[in-house]
Chains A and B, each alone.
Chain A
């Protein structure tokens, strides 16, 4: 309702004041106000429609103008090209006009003879003119074209699909038009069902807001006004009130916005936390089919976390090289140059250090020696070149040394040490020693060196350094009291470290590196860095830790691409760990802290349930089945004569330990599958088979006997070879051992052709010869509930054409609009095929198999096994009628089109 002015109405003459005066207005007056606004709204609506219409009229005029031009062009085009052939329509047209204009009086013979000469039959006849009708137009016969057997357009499905909500006919009124009777039948559900969806909350329309706002402005806010408004707008007064408050709020909000400048453009996705960002993953990704937006299992599945955790990704740490220009290693490398140029002495240090390092590396066997030499190196360099104030030079007590040395599993408890100086460079050199030793053992001296150099750049107060490093070291080595670390004290720790270092544990190596860098300066820096980390980036990082372990290179490359660089990740990694240490308290050992860190991450993740950000699109709600009003049971195809349905739908359980009595799978009577959360040792798991020679083709195979296909993930000897074997196939035991019970899984089906049935309507035919028990193809369709099937069946049965197939206790397959060509295979009491419901990777599917040898080109039949009391005449057991089926019985037409 744009730009509409408030018309001063009767009661509007009272100036809108804020006092008690308004409440004095009588109900009639308020009503009058409301009415006037209503009229205003209605008027506005008319005006806006009119305006709208006029705009559209203009558009239409333009369109028709161009269309007219086109049709003119067409006629001109024709005239130009007309010479090549006679346009009979134009000719007849001309004849008619000529005749009509009176040339016809004498035309009789001339005209007809001329047209006969043309060989184009007679000319036009005129109706309703004074001229007598000469001769009728000779009709031109359109040769008959054989029409197709009737079918409804259907979509090919190569796997079953669960019905989407909007396809449900439950609770909808449907009208079935019976062509033979010429009448329409309403197939609707009982009233109470039909009303279900009407209850959705009505939004407040623009005009309602308008009336609300203006009325209250006019008559003031009072209960009477609200009540009357509610009545007029047919809403609850509470609703009205709430809405009014909203309106006032939003008005103020817009006011604020107008006053203040809010111009932040923020990437919406950066703002969210990872849960929100991952929401679509959790809700749309199917963990069974490994696809997004799985049509079979639907969206918003329960998240199942496997009890058995996967170890973090570990790749052989060849990755000693920088992963990119922003790798933390690279940073070190580059920075090395800077101090060098600034300070000529740095070069020397470097050189010397290199020397020292090499010595050290060589002399690993005698750690003490190298350590001492190293220490000397450092102290030397620091003393001479960079005038440092050496507090604790070369003392083993030096906290920083202790820390680094210890952590680094530097076998030689590095006695050296370092000056805690105002400039930390020195200290870092010391650290570098230890590091270089550690990584030196891994073989890349250079890098270590760089790392060392880089550390030199860090700046922090010596005090802080001391204290923090002291604490850290104490935590890391509970063995060694930091303040008075004795040589003996360190020795054991060093030794133990050495042992550790021999194990090629990459993750420990990573940790190690991290520790090296812990130092006050970086820490401080990180505090500021930390602020730049968005919640969602942090969460992403945590995920990265889970997947890749402590490898900043991999995390940055795979998860934080474009967001954070490797070195940023690296720093953050340190920082977050530090925090954890602090939190853990002084007494905690390093290992403990570590564990805790890990643990909390895992817990944090597991605790995350499906988030509330459900995407509306494609969301599938689990249907609840009420069996009331299910008096009608539609006819469905089945695989067995029995009434009960032995197959039960499998839903993965989320048990985190071996399944107990309350496991949903057990309760439901299904086996646990590989998709369940329970560990492999669960007693309720289906174990698969161990068949080898039998190829899983007989009931001796436990899988086959249980109407299941073998699963390469579960069965011991059933595997799939791919390609020509050059890619490393599992050791072959000869082709004859290949499992033959995975045809549905592998889609090893026969070519089926669709054609006119010899019996009735459409039929399915086989392209090639097949042997007995050969798998032919799958009967696919929409998975619908039994309740839905009954509703749909009402109309299918009336049309005498049903594609419903009972699958299990929860679902019926409907191939009416979606399916496979096999849906057209006809019924026969003496068929050449049979259908079987098979469990394939947790899902029930219908396979059609050959009952006998079938030759190429034969039509396929199988027994629909309708329930005897409901089966249509053509499917009744006594062989009265042969194999007849869904005959659409096209009738005499729509002579009576009626509602």
Chain B
């Protein structure tokens, strides 16, 4: 990371909780002994805003948050291969609106599950190694991207089962890709980050015809002319170690490495020369004891707050859009000692879920302030 000099210092948030909101544990469940790596609410379909899915071991489970801290198990899927270990899951949907679960993990096979009929819809074989994250395009939820250990990011159409684009090659990642995210409003843009310590922003503008073609493709998916996107439009060296999570906040990016902090920065691209540009680091959100990799944070629907767990089972909830950043709350529980791999914030941020290394899922609900 370039040394930050005077005049471009970021605003660092204070770790003193503002007590704006308080949360308390309302439920805790044990899903098994294997670590749970992912938990995610369904933001695709407003009917399912209170439905969430977890991925861990060879299992993907669907739950529902009910009032009073109650969690209902709705569905559970188990991969026949006991060695499979799901690392990520994402909600998507078919073009007719059927809710899909897209999960991937160690085996490198992407499982598309039709949650409406509780059947496997498709399995995408193609990645050369394990899959670290899957994300859904919010504007076109039948498009998903996957980040893989094989150093590539791939764009899939879950409806037709087509691998549309592969983001790899000459300008691609030089090590495992750990995280990927769609730009919320610009459909052509994605950001990916990984073990090569970089964040790369890719544009598929020139390839958009292929994306459109994928919706009307009737031939075998394997016959589709999959294209390589070899050059990102922007490469940022914001961190000096693995970058394991990045999210778009409008046109800014929130990313984290193993340095006990989340960084909010703005990519300043040069129109003329793709690939070059500078980074303006705007704000930093300290997260103590967060120095191991594969810890991911999440935001509520409106990107008002972000929640992240740490190595010791504590959760930090930051108000991300205020300047300077405000720590909304620090959540801790005596029994929560295991590393938190991922959190999920509900639509309005009133519920926070976290999944842990020891296979537990915790539910925190906001305490109504007097």
Tell whether B225 is near chain A: CB-to-CB under 8 Å. Answer: no
Q: A46-B323, A96-B72, A148-B127 are in contact. List 13 more A-B contacts (CB 8 A).
A: A41-B6, A54-B323, A60-B302, A62-B185, A64-B303, A75-B47, A89-B62, A93-B47, A93-B64, A128-B28, A136-B73, A155-B230, A174-B175
| A150 in contact (CB, < 8 A) | yes
Residue B245 at the chain A interface, CB threshold 8 Å: no
Complex-state Cα separation, A88 to B77, whole angstroms? 14
A305 within 8 Å of B by Cβ?
no
Which residues from chain A sit less than 8 Å from chain B, CB to CB? 1, 38, 41-42, 45-46, 49-50, 52-54, 56-57, 59-64, 66-68, 70-72, 74-75, 77-78, 81, 85-90, 92-93, 96-97, 99-100, 120-121, 124-129, 136-148, 150-153, 155, 164, 174-175, 177, 205-208, 210, 233, 617, 817-818, 890, 892-895, 897-899
A49–B72 CB distance below 8 A: no
B6–A142 CB distance below 8 A = no
B11 close to chain A: CB less than 8 A: yes
Q: Is B169 touching A127 in the complex (CB atoms < 8 A)?
A: no
Q: B140 — nearest CB in chain A belongs to which residue?
A: A70
Nearest B-chain residue to A126, judged by Cβ: B72
**A139 near B76: Cβ-Cβ < 8 Å:** yes
In the complex, the answer to whether B252 meets A895 with C-beta atoms within 8 Å is no
Q: Are B74 and A92 in contact (CB under 8 A)?
A: yes
CA–CA, A66 to B139, complex, Å? 9
- Which listed residue, A125, A175, A207, touches B72 by the CB 8 Å rule? A125
Which residues on the B side are within 8 Å of A127 (C-beta)? Answer: 27, 29, 70-73
A175 with B241, Cβ < 8 A, contacts A88-B115, A127-B71, A207-B7 known: yes
A53 near B9 with CB under 8 A, answer no
Chain A: minimal CB distance from B104 (Å): 11
| Cβ 8 A contact of A148, one of B62, B125, B241 | B125
Contact between A899 and B293, CB atoms less than 8 A apart: yes
B150 CB contacts on chain A under 8 angstroms: 150-153
Give min CB distance, A171 to chain B, whole Å.
14
Please tell me if the beta carbons of B292 and A38 are within 8 angstroms of each other in the complex.
no
Taking a contact as CB atoms closer than 8 A, the residue among B48, B72, B118, B293 that contacts A99 in the complex is B72
Q: Ordered nearest first, which 3 A-B pairs have the shortest CB separation?
A: A207-B7, A96-B72, A151-B128
Distance A809 CA – B76 CA, assembled complex (angstroms) = 59
C-alpha gap A681/B150 in the complex (Å): 53
Q: Which residue of the partner chain, among B117, B273, B302, contacts A85 with CB atoms under 8 Å?
A: B117
Complex Cα spacing A210 to B8, Å: 13
Closest Cβ of chain B to A291, distance in Å, is 17
CA distance A687 to B76 in the complex (A): 74
Chain B residues in 8 Å Cβ range of A54 = 323
Instruction: Name which of B16-24, B106-114, B216-224, B330-338 contacts chain A.
Output: B106-114
State whether A56 touches B252 (Cβ < 8 A).
yes
CB distance from B311 to the nearest CB of A (A): 10
A899 engages B241 (CB within 8 Å): yes
**With contact pairs A60-B184, A128-B26, A129-B68 given, residues A147 and B45 touching in the complex (Cβ less than 8 Å):** no
Q: Given the complex, which residues of A lie within 8 Å of B175, measured CB to CB?
A: 174-175
| B279 interface hit (Cβ, 8 Å) | no
Interface residues of B in 299-351 (CB under 8 A from A): 301-303, 321-324
Measured in the bound complex, the distance between the Cα atoms of B232 and A767 in whole Å is 36
Contact with B185, one of A42, A63, A92, A210 (Cβ below 8 angstroms): A63
Cα distance A439–B169 when bound, in Å?
63
10 A-B Cβ contacts within 8 A?
Answer: A38-B6, A49-B282, A52-B282, A77-B97, A87-B99, A93-B51, A148-B128, A153-B168, A208-B7, A893-B106
> Which B residues touch A893, using CB under 8 A?
83, 85, 106
Any A CB within 8 A of the CB of B138: yes
Which residues of chain A are near B166, meaning CB under 8 Å? Answer: 153
B7 and A56 within 8 A (CB) = no
Given A57-B250, A898-B292, decide whether A49 and B78 contact each other with a Cβ distance below 8 A. Answer: no
Alpha-carbon distance A45/B6, docked complex (angstroms):
9
CB distance from B346 to the nearest CB of A (A): 14
Check A74 against B44 for contact (C-beta < 8 Å): yes
Please determine whether A205 and B321 come into contact, CB atoms closer than 8 angstroms. no
Q: Are A137 and B75 in contact, CB atoms less than 8 angstroms apart?
A: yes
Residues on the A chain within 8 Å of B59, using CB? 139
Which residues of chain A are within 8 angstroms of B181 by Cβ–Cβ distance?
none
Q: B370 within 8 Å of A by Cβ?
A: no
Asked if residues B80 and A89 are in contact (CB atoms below 8 Å), the reply is no
Please provide the chain B residues from 250 to 275 with a CB less than 8 Å away from any CB of chain A in the complex. Answer: 250-252, 258, 266, 273
Given the interface contacts A93-B74, A129-B66, does A1 sit within 8 Å of B7 by beta carbon?
A: yes
Contact of A92 among B68, B75, B125, B293 (CB under 8 A): B75
Minimal Cβ-Cβ distance residue in A for B177: A153
A611, B249: Cα distance in complex, Å: 46
Question: Is B202 an interface position by the 8 A CB rule?
Answer: no
Residues 141-190 of B at the A interface (beta carbon under 8 Å): 141, 148, 150-152, 166, 168-170, 172, 175-176, 184-185
Cα separation A127 to B150 with both chains bound (whole Å): 39
Asked if residues B73 and A124 are in contact (CB atoms below 8 Å), the reply is yes
A210 to B5, CA, bound (A): 14
For chain B, residues 48 to 96, give those with C-beta under 8 angstroms from any C-beta of chain A: 48-49, 51, 59, 62, 64, 66-81, 83, 85, 87, 93, 96
Flag if A153 contacts B118 (CB, 8 Å): no
Of the four ranges (under 10, 10 to 19, 20 to 34, 35 or more), the interface on chain B belongs to 35 or more
Complex interface: chain B residues within 8 A of A71 (CB): 43-46, 49
Interfacial chain B residues near A143, Cβ < 8 Å: 80, 120
B228 contacts A155, C-beta separation under 8 Å: yes
- A150 B129 Cβ-Cβ under 8 A: yes
On whether the beta carbons of B96 and A81 are closer than 8 Å, the reply is yes
Please tell me which one of the listed residues A56, A72, A148, A208 contacts residue B46 in the complex, with CB atoms under 8 A apart: A72
In the complex, whether B285 has a CB less than 8 A from a CB of chain A is: no
Q: Point out the residue from A126, A140, A151 that lies within 8 Å of B119, measured CB to CB.
A: A140
- The smallest C-beta distance from A221 to any residue of chain B, in angstroms, reads 22
A46 to B28: give the CA distance in the assembly, Å: 41
Question: With a CB–CB cut-off of 8 A, which chain B residues contact A66?
Answer: 185
Q: Is the CB of A152 within 8 A of B151?
A: yes
Chain A min CB distance to B40 (Å): 14
Whether A142 and B78, one on each chain, are in contact in the complex, defined by CB atoms closer than 8 angstroms, is yes
Knowing A96-B74, A151-B129 are in contact, say whether A144-B81 is a contact too (CB < 8 A): yes
Chain B 121-145 near chain A by CB (<8 Å), digits 1 or 0: 0010111110000000011010000
Which among B45, B120, B283, B363 is the interface contact of A49 at CB below 8 angstroms?
A: B283
Chain A residues closer than 8 Å to B81, beta-carbon distance: 144, 147
User: For residue B153, which residue of chain A has the nearest CB?
Assistant: A153
Chain B, residue nearest A234 (CB): B5
B35 at the interface (CB under 8 A from A): yes
In the bound complex, what is the Cα–Cα distance between A206 and B302 (angstroms)?
34
Interface assignment of B294: CB less than 8 Å from any CB of chain A: yes
Cα A150 to Cα B250 with chains together (Å): 36
B362 smallest CB distance to A (angstroms): 11
Whether, in the assembled complex, B14 has its beta carbon less than 8 Å from a beta carbon of chain A, the answer is: no
Docked pose: A811 CA to B336 CA in angstroms: 55
- The CA of A449 and the CA of B119, in the complex, are separated in Å by 92
> Closest residue to A58 on the B side, CB-wise?
B250
Chain B, Cβ-Cβ closest to A90: B47
Question: Which residues on A sit within 8 Å (CB–CB) of B78?
Answer: 139-142
- Considering residues A61, A88, A120, A617, which has the most beta carbons from chain B within 10 angstroms of its beta carbon? A88
Shortest C-beta distance, B82 to chain A (Å), equals 10
Query: Could you say which residues of chain A place their CB within 8 Å of the CB of B287?
Result: none
Q: How far is the CA of A1 from the CA of B76 in the complex (A)?
A: 56
Does B294 lie within 8 Å of A147, measured CB to CB? no
Task: Closest A residue to B301 by CB, please name it.
Answer: A64
Contact at B302–A64, with CB atoms within 8 Å? yes
- Measured in the bound complex, the distance between the Cα atoms of B339 and A311 in whole Å is 78
CA distance A388 to B89 in the complex (A): 101
A62 to B79, CA, bound (A): 40
Contact A70 B138 (CB under 8 A): yes
Chain B: CB-nearest residue to A295: B170
* Contact (A93, B48) CB under 8 Å given A175-B195, A175-B242: yes
Q: Check B242–A142 contact: CB distance below 8 A.
A: no
Known A96-B72, A126-B66, A129-B68: A75·B119 in contact at CB below 8 Å: no
The answer for the CA separation of A71 and B87 in the assembled complex, in Å, is 26
